[in-house]
Structure 1
Amino acid sequence: MATAPVVGNVTDVAGTHLNGKIPELHFTLNSPNAKAGKVIPTEPLTVQPASDGSFTASLETTTDMMDDAWYTVSIQWLDAAGNYVKADFPDWQLQVPSGGGSFSNLFGKPPKNTRMVYVSLTPPDNPRPFTLWLKANPADDLDPLNTWDLYEWRNV
């Protein structure tokens, strides 16, 4: 399966006070999904940061999935022996574009309206399947010759 790297550091999660702690990061797709003829399950990907706190998670890209998709992130705290201590379940939603990116820059709530329309002179970055783009010049909206072209991205 094609994946994209998401890189980060535990300090992206909670600052320097995590030094000496043993966290595990769990990335779980919000629901089973599909893209390019394959089904993607919700089995979590578990990542343990390196001793310097850095980590890389190879995640499926979410911007090209059929349905609205994101990863939830949970943090499990382990003791020195590797035993479970506790877990945090923040309400984070991580979306992964085709090139991957930095953990701290990929968070956001996905739009609940999947028929979102972008109105601009330039197309949206990483549009989801069935995203609409109304190519329009708002400065010329009173001009009757401004026909405004409407585009839609299809899941191919």
Structure 2
Amino acid sequence: MTPLIGIPLFLATVVGMEGFAYAAHRWIMHGPGWFLHASHHRPRKGRFELNDLYAVIFAGPSILLLAGGMRWGWWPGCTWIGAGVAAYGAIYFGFHDGIVHKRLPHRFVPRSRYLKRIVQAHLLHHVVATKAGTVSFGFLVAPKPEALKAELKRRAGAGIRAPGMADSGRR
């Protein structure tokens, strides 16, 4: 497969992963997968949390597609799609775990309106301690913080943490 077809397929996969990540976060992680994801909404004890297993789970299809496309003679597009899934995972890890939750040491301070909006939306997601009642499930696309605050207020503060626990100690 030529790069003229592969690169757009790769980019479409990265963009499409946002929809997949939104759905997985909203209906799996905040649904039947809460037993793993709950650890991400509580103060972390140590370097890892059960929620980190989702990275392993979601890496599986990427590895399978890469191996299938490169080693096992599958359709060559599988390689580009697998690389797109891996790229989305790397972007997610760097931004979400590195910048938002500061699991990696750094001095980066988001200055652009876009990055500030994404960080604030994710922190607003964490003000709710339960699997229900949360807002903002996306990663690359997030509603305006004002809209998220209004939605939390409309819900009468159901599940909101006590003052001082809004970021669940993750900053």
Structure with the higher strand share, 1 or 2? 1
Is the shorter-chain TM-score for this pair beyond 0.5, marking a shared fold? Answer: no
TM-score, reference length from structure 2: 0.22
Please report the TM-score for the alignment, with normalisation by the length of structure 1. 0.24
Comparing both structures, which one devotes a greater share of its residues to helix? 2
